[in-house]
A and B are shown apart, each in its own frame.
Chain A
Amino acid sequence: MATLYIDNKPYEVKAGKNLLETCLGLGLDLPYFCWHPSLGSVGACRQCAIKVFKDETDTRGRIVMACMEPVADKQRISIAHPDAVEFRANVIESLMTNHPHDCAVCDEGGSCHLQDMTVMSGHNYRRFRYNKRTFQNQDLGPFINHEMNRCITCYRCVRFYRDYAGGRDLNAFASRSNVYFGREEDGPLESEFSGNLAEICPTGVFTDKTLKEHYTRKWDLTMAPSVCQHCSLGCNTIAGERYGELRMIANRYNGEVNGYFLCDRGRFGYEFTNSDLRIRQPFISKFPVTKQQVLAEVATDIKKGKVIGIGSPRASLQSNFALKQLVGADRFFHGVSDNDHNIADLIVKILKEGPIRVASMHDVQQADAVLILGEDLTNTAPMLALAVRQAVKQQPMKKLAKANIPAWHDAAAKELLQDEKGPLFIASINTTKLDDVATATYHAAPDDIARFGFAIASCLDRSVPSVSNLPGELQSLAQRIADALSNAERPVIISGASSQTQSVIRAAANVAWALHKKNKNTGLAYTLAECNSMGLALMGGHRLNSAFDAVMNGHADTVIVMENDLYRHGKAADVDAFLNKAKKVIVFDHIVHRTVEKAHVVLPAGAFSESDGIVVNNEGRAQRYFQVYECHEPIQESWRWIVDISKFENNVGMGWEHFEGLTRTIAEAEPLLRDINRVSPPASYRIAGQKIPREPHRYSGRTAMLANINVSEPKPPVDPDSPLSYTMEGYKGLPPSSAIPFFWTPGWNSVQSVNKYQEEIGGSLKGGDPGIRLIEPNLKSTLSYFTELPEPFVPMKDHLWTVPLFHIFGSEELSVLGDAVAKRAPQHYIMINALDAAEQKLSENQELAFDVEGQLYRLPVKISTTLPKGLAGLPYGLPGLPNVELPAWLIYKK
């Protein structure tokens, strides 16, 4: 600790940080541009100028940039000194010489850091009387709009894009007052994290192109805290609505989960909620009906039929549980393939019964050695890949202290460390985008990856069964990895469900456990298939195939499928047979898919933006998303449909009415979910007697928006489920961390206001980071190592072992239904090794006919030199591509 005098007032502050983040952390206003908590300092913009004084007698002081000066004990500084105030205004004046006066038509206006800083700095009179420089803009693809004239040359875009996220195609060009940030030529930004430019850019150079399609000012949005639905990581988001349409997804800071960033699938995948494929009313036999009609129909079906319920890994705990309660626990089935089911159960078992604490994304970022087994993280859990990119910087950073360079001194740190990377080892089926920062990679069939993992574990602890017949080269790589992991202070092992191979998951556990014996700081993280795969696994239920059996055997005749396209989880032929056999198929969902098309009864469910729910991420963190806007009648959450059905059926209901009662019921009924009551404040929660407004206090037009229907301002909807109001009235201060609908503090209209919501800059939110961890390690674990070592993969003549290949844009069901994400999705293909292609005399793009597990395909061939020989890669989940349970053998067809 150090004592810092700011304008003669003493503060106790942390030593070692820079003065800018120290001042901001104290809640003081000091403008800045080029600094960012996760990018550090470079001293380019000169906006955070303050005065530093030698001692109490020094009255003149000297101007320094707060971001470049470390805190020193007993130091005296001034933010308010007239020289510093004047200098900061002068810097804004400089920036404004070329900045267009187009705030009124700029997308950033109203949530613009440059606007905020301009007002804060007090510059208002233009003395520059010459022309402004102008640039040509580029087409940067479907996600990001480019308007270079607005650039203030803070360099944050390239520092994030290149240095932080590992992108290569965005760069700074030219020099002097003509520096240009863009690509060498027009074209989509290649990084999976390009959307963050919209938040990193302090002004309107890079803006959200999907928002532009239906533009609304941030202050005119109705917003609520939400959780990303597009992978298992559960990144926290802010979802914003106007006129009943979801308009924007922005980052919602969570220090333990996604920090300041989101991936492009998470940010732009929301468009499905506005899609033409949305189910907006109930249907019986494809005919639209009223709510009463459909309730009567379903209530009768349930009374008469032998009902089973199929849940979903993309539906909330609330909806899944409500269905389970409605049909009875023994008639509730997880709507995932048996393989996915087994994998999720295995992962839960390892994490619940093993001795290792699940690594959060923040833990992964801090790891100083990482081993990835079987995952292409960039495509299955993108933000975890971004975390790994930061982890490789950890070990080299230890050298900074010796050279007296603080870690926040970004340019100097980069210079000293050059391209040095800490240990990262990746064993995956094919090359991954993270390979460029990996120490070593190994590409092999899933079983071989598992064997390799076992070998590493065996190097760490001889009591793990060793792997015989491992090539010498691999054995020595295994030893090298074991050594690197042993030498690390905070090693993390990452694996997951995407290889769809249990032995890979077991191997990762073995490595982590063996390491844990030596180092209690070892972390373990598994990715899962979907946003609530973990929640579903914690809840318990039967396998999908037994649901199929139940219908085929006549034990059941009425099927309720909730928010689930069974064709993504089972083989098409099986699902067809199942749905055809069932007397009645009732589907709750928000989007049309093949299962919906086969349903007799369809009930319109709310998408995440129209619902309240809790999902559990891969870390076992239960997190709540809040309804952003009231559903259009008769759309409602699946769980609310269920309570309506039960009331209709027996006039008694489910024993709960609203979100809170339901959540309490879940906590009582499901032992692994007993803590979910604590995820968010109760609906009755008030601050100073007030609710938390979903709308900023500048929200405009509420008396006019619906004037074409009724000139009287309608009564705002009542939210029975949360302490959030649907209005702009309410408590203006900081809400509880789990219920932040948007970031705003006086003078800070842009997302940079998040500084004021944190305990310390870049740390956890005030009141703790949102979410309740449901899985804590069993420190007295008696779990012994897995011993089921798979046989080595042996290629089979005229067959290929087909594995799923994942695509960030395309493999996830919902996001790909939006235009922007769809534009980035790949065409259908089958990938095979060049040697196999040569053997079969196949050339690139030539159509190949083949059969996997009885499913016929005709797909263009993509030839790879990195996919191991004997394997084939089938893209996972692309729209229109039939699903089949993988891995499985492919047989060539003539």
Chain B
Amino acid sequence: MERPLTQHLRADKRPLSLKEYEKVGGYEALRKILKGMTPKAVQEVVKDSHLRGRGGAGFATGLKWSFVPMDGQKPKYLIANADEMEPGTFKDRILLEETPHQLIEGMIVSAYAIQADQSFVFLRWAYKVAAREIEKAIHEAYEAGYLGKNILGSGYDLDMHLHTGVGRYMCGEETALLNSLEGKRATPRAKPPFPQISGLFGKPTIVNNVETLCNIPHIINKGPDWFKALSRTGDSGTKIYGVSGKVKKPGAWELPMGVTMRELIEEYAGGMQDGLKFRGALPGGASTDFLVEEHLDVKLDYANVAAAGSRLGTGTLIILDDKTCPVGFVQNLEHFFAQESCGFCTPCREGLPWVAKILLSLEKGEGTEEDLGLLDFHTKYLGPGNTFCALAPGAMEPLQSALKYFRKDFEEHVHEQCCPWKENEARMRDPRFIKEALQAVGNR
């Protein structure tokens, strides 16, 4: 099985130095395009590869690039979205910390394809190791002439900067990222105009996810057909899948696009921890709909996950087991989303805290029948098109699917006026209960 993105990871997690990276074929893609490919030709290859954005939305990368005006205007920007803040998602982190040159090469090739002359890595504030490694790698790339003026004698110029955010989920949304990078409030922008026309500082801009960019050198080196063949399904390439939750071996693995959830959990994550049963999973980070047992054999690619009623998103599963309260699980997420709302549009700003408060009430045993109706209501009210950006609709995905698949649990919270899980927990800690339980055992 080919793992182009992660093939050079080392057990000690040390990234390849520039020299080491070059030794394994690093910067060959860059040399190749500078030697004889026009920007349009690079775009065509990427278009032909059917690479889709790995940040979550799955938009065709080549198509995205094709909207950038190629009329020689400057400046133009290429930005790596490394603000990986989707809960449960840590796939870009691996690439950032352990393969910085792969990212940088991908960025230079991509920048060349749209003829950008400025590039930024917009990095999540908490990724300190990544910041160090990227900074070092950018420096090495400048030294080696891969960045700066007249790259490898081609006449092509590109500068690259590392920008570390301050830790707002909103900045992962590309237009809010642009505002933040400009020093403005991290609120999203209306589209159109798209960043390709009016992006950073009002200039043509492409924002791509880290994993997306890391694929680019390989596509250039080996061609679109090779890339398509990596996949088991119609969506081409590999994907870095992750699993978190109460499995035996949580982690992330680069696998062919289209592995099933069952394979991922059982073969790679070592199955559920002993005594726990799989109840459901968010397939692509916190802002995707639950998939449940019936979906275990769904192929994890864009089309199949969508057909199952969710989104591939970032491809990093968060597992819900049968000893974890689904209401508490969702409450945690909605609290996060309410905290991370930028406060720009009304439904998101006011709706998410309401949802989070209701869920907390349920957990505290103060829920009512009306609360369930209000949760249902919000999943529609905060739906796509109603809010300014996709944050709130995304936040509603785990909620609406939890209400669908785990309705009984929600109802139990209301009827029993407590969280059954916490009630269990509390009872377990109650000495009188333990005594009674022991007596019961003894009596038998």
CB distance from B345 to the nearest CB of A (A): 5
Looking at A90, A95, A98, A153, the one whose CB has the most chain B CB atoms below 10 A away is: A90
Q: Which candidate, B124-132, B141-149, B193-201, is the interface stretch facing chain A?
A: B193-201
Q: How distant is B209 from chain A, measured CB to nearest CB, in Å?
A: 22
Does B190 count as interface, using CB distance less than 8 angstroms?
yes
Number of A residues near B (Cβ < 8 Å) is 41
A94–B381 Cα distance when bound, in Å, is: 10
Q: Counting CB contacts under 8 A, is B353 at the interface?
A: yes
Residue of A44, A62, A418 near B345 (CB, 8 A) is: A44
CB-CB under 8 A for A64 and B343, given A412-B189, A416-B198, A418-B201: no
Q: Mark B382-399, 1 if CB is under 8 A from A, else 0.
A: 000111100000000000
Query: How distant is A654 from chain B, measured CB to nearest CB, in Å?
Result: 62
Interface 9-mer from B4-12, B255-263, B284-292, B333-341: B333-341
Nearest A residue to B69 by beta-carbon distance? Answer: A403
Query: Interface code B176-203, partner A: CB below 8 Å = 1, 0 otherwise?
Result: 0000000001100110110001100110
Is B436 interfacial (CB-CB < 8 Å)?
no
- Considering the chains assembled together, what is the distance between the CA atoms of A503 and B138 in angstroms? 61
Partner of A46, one of B170, B339, B341, B347: B347
User: Which residue from chain A places its CB closest to the CB of B385 in the assembled complex?
Assistant: A63
Bound CA–CA A415/B188 (angstroms): 12
Question: Across the interface, do A68 and B349 meet the contact criterion of CB distance under 8 Å?
Answer: no
A47 to B345, CA, bound (A): 10
- Inter-chain contact A176/B190, CB cutoff 8 Å: no
Instruction: Report the separation of the CA atoms of residues A152 and B357 in the bound assembly, to the nearest whole angstrom.
Output: 19
Interchain CB contact under 8 A, B193 and A412: yes
Contact between B351 and A94, CB atoms less than 8 A apart: yes
Contact between chains at B193 and A153 (CB < 8 Å): no
Q: Is A179 an interface residue (CB 8 A)?
A: yes
A45 touches B201 (CB 8 A): no
Q: Which residue of B lies closest to A64 (CB)?
A: B385
Kindly list chain B residues whose C-beta atoms are within 8 Å of the C-beta of A415. Answer: 189, 193, 198, 202
Contact A130 B357 (CB under 8 A): yes
> Which of B186-239 touch A at CB < 8 Å?
186, 189-190, 192-193, 197-198, 201-202
Interface residues of A in 393-429 (CB under 8 A from B): 403-405, 409, 411-412, 415-418
Known contacts A172-B185, A412-B198, A95 near B343 by CB under 8 Å: no
Total A-B pairs, Cβ < 8 A: 106
Scan residues 293-334 of chain B and give those whose CB is less than 8 A from a CB of chain A. none
With A176-B341, A403-B193 in contact, do A47 and B346 touch (Cβ < 8 Å)? yes
Q: Let me know if B339 and A68 touch, CB within 8 A.
A: no
The CB with the most chain A CB atoms within 10 A, among B339, B342, B357, B386, is that of B386
> Is there an interface contact between A128 and B198, defined as CB atoms closer than 8 Å?
no
Q: Is the CB of A411 within 8 A of B350?
A: no
Question: B345 near A176 (CB under 8 angstroms)?
Answer: no
User: Within the assembled complex, what's the spacing in Å between the Cα atoms of A178 and B339?
Assistant: 10
Q: Is the CB of A95 within 8 A of B346?
A: yes
Instruction: Say yes or no: is B274 at the interface (Cβ < 8 Å to chain A).
Output: no
Contact check, A90 vs B381: say whether CB atoms are below 8 A apart. Answer: yes
**Distance in angstroms between the alpha carbons of A437 and B232 in the assembled complex:** 59
Question: Closest Cβ of chain A: how far from B62's Cβ, in Å?
Answer: 23
Contacts of B192 in A (CB 8 A): 404-405, 412
Contact residues of A between 513 and 568, Cβ < 8 Å to B: none
CA distance in complex: A690, B347 (Å):
46
B267 at the interface (CB under 8 A from A): no
Residue of A nearest to B195 (CB): A415
Contacts A87-B386, A128-B354: A405 and B193 contacting too (C-beta < 8 A)? yes
B185 and A416: CB pair below 8 A?
no
The answer to whether B347 and A94 touch across the interface, beta carbons within 8 angstroms, is yes
Residue of B nearest to A86 (CB): B381
A177 adjacent to B349 (CB under 8 Å): yes
B437 within 8 A of A: no
Are the C-beta atoms of A153 and B189 separated by less than 8 Å?
no
- On chain B, the residues within 8 Å of A127 by CB distance are 370, 374
Which of A49, A62, A177, A412 meets B343, CB within 8 Å? A177
Residue A97 at the chain B interface, CB threshold 8 Å: yes
CB-defined contacts of A62 to chain B, threshold 8 Å: 385
Q: Does A91 contact B (CB under 8 A)?
A: yes
Q: Mark A133-152, 1 if CB is under 8 A from B, else 0.
A: 00000000000000000001
Residue B344 lies at the interface, judged by CB distance under 8 Å to chain A: yes
Complex formed: what's the CA distance from A403 to B195 in Å? 12
* A153-B351 Cα distance, complex, nearest whole Å: 14
**Across the interface, which residues of B come within 8 angstroms of A64, CB to CB?**
385
Cβ contacts under 8 Å, B387 to chain A: 46
Residue on A with the closest CB to B340? A176
CA distance A171 to B429 in the complex (A): 51
Q: Does A175 contact B (CB under 8 A)?
A: yes
Chain A residue numbers with a CB within 8 Å of B345 are 43-46
- Contact check, B202 vs A95: say whether CB atoms are below 8 A apart: no
Whether A87 lies near B342 (C-beta < 8 A) is no
- A91 with B347, Cβ < 8 A, contacts A46-B387, A176-B339, A176-B341 known: yes
Indicate if the CB atoms of B350 and A97 lie closer than 8 Å. yes
Taking a contact as CB atoms under 8 Å apart, the answer to whether B346 and A175 are in contact is: no
Of residues 748 through 798 on chain A, the ones whose CB sits less than 8 Å from some CB of chain B are none
Partner of B202 from the list A42, A97, A130, A418 (CB cut-off 8 Å) is: A418
- Most A CB contacts (10 A, CB to CB) among B189, B193, B351 go to B193
CB distance from B185 to the nearest CB of A (A): 6
A153 touches B357 (CB 8 A): no
- Nearest to B370 among chain A residues (CB) is A127
**Does A179 contact B354, Cβ atoms closer than 8 Å?**
no
Q: Are B385 and A403 in contact (CB under 8 A)?
A: no
Most buried by A among B340, B354, B374: B354
CB distance from A50 to the nearest CB of B (A): 12
Q: Which residue of B lies closest to A174 (CB)?
A: B343
Least distance between B287 CB and chain A CB atoms (Å): 16
A788-827 with Cβ < 8 A to chain B? none
- The smallest C-beta distance from B103 to any residue of chain A, in angstroms, reads 27
Would A44 and B198 count as touching, CB distance under 8 A?
A: no
Closest residue to A158 on the B side, CB-wise? B185
Quick one: which of B90-107 are within 8 Å of A by CB?
none
Taking the closest CB of chain A, its distance from the CB of B358, in whole angstroms, is: 9
Are B341 and A175 in touch, CB under 8 angstroms? yes
**Considering only CB atoms, which chain B residue lies closest to A180 in the complex?**
B343
Q: How far is the CB of B74 from chain A (nearest CB, A)?
A: 15
CB distance from A90 to the nearest CB of B (A): 5
On whether A404 and B193 interact (CB within 8 A), knowing A43-B388, A64-B385, A153-B346, the answer reads yes
Which B residues lie within 8 Å of A94 (CB)?
346-347, 349-351, 354
The answer on a CB contact under 8 Å between A177 and B338 is: yes
Whole-angstrom distance between the Cβ of B253 and the nearest chain A Cβ: 35
User: Would you call B346 and A68 a contact (CB within 8 A)?
Assistant: no
**Could you tell me the distance between the alpha carbons of A94 and B346 in the complex, rounded to whole angstroms?**
7
Which residues of A are found within 8 Å of B349, using beta-carbon distances?
A: 94, 153, 176-177, 179
Chain B residues whose CB sits within 8 angstroms of the CB of A178 once the complex forms: 343
For residue B30, give the distance in angstroms from its CB to the closest CB of chain A: 32
> In the complex, what's the smallest C-beta–C-beta distance from A511 to chain B, in angstroms?
33
- B198:A63 contact, CB within 8 angstroms: no
Question: Which of B168, B342, B351 has the most A CB atoms < 10 Å from its CB?
Answer: B351
Given contacts A177-B341, A403-B198, contact A416 B193 (CB under 8 A): yes
A404–B201 alpha-carbon span in the complex (Å): 17
Residues of A within 8 A of B350 (CB): 94-95, 97-98, 177
Query: Within A216-241, which residues are at the interface with B (CB < 8 Å)?
Result: none
In the bound assembly, the distance between CA atoms of A128 and B201 in angstroms comes to 41
Can you report 18 residue pairs joining A to B where beta carbons are below 8 Å apart?
A: A43-B388, A44-B388, A46-B386, A49-B386, A90-B381, A97-B350, A97-B354, A127-B370, A127-B374, A153-B349, A175-B168, A176-B341, A176-B353, A177-B349, A177-B353, A179-B343, A405-B193, A411-B190
Please give 19 more A-B residue pairs, beta carbons under 8 A apart, in addition to A175-B168, A411-B190, A418-B202: A42-B190, A46-B346, A46-B347, A90-B347, A91-B347, A94-B350, A95-B350, A97-B350, A127-B374, A128-B354, A153-B346, A176-B342, A176-B352, A177-B341, A179-B349, A405-B192, A409-B190, A412-B192, A418-B201
Give the 3 A-B residue pairs with the shortest CB-CB distance, closest first: A94-B350, A179-B343, A416-B202
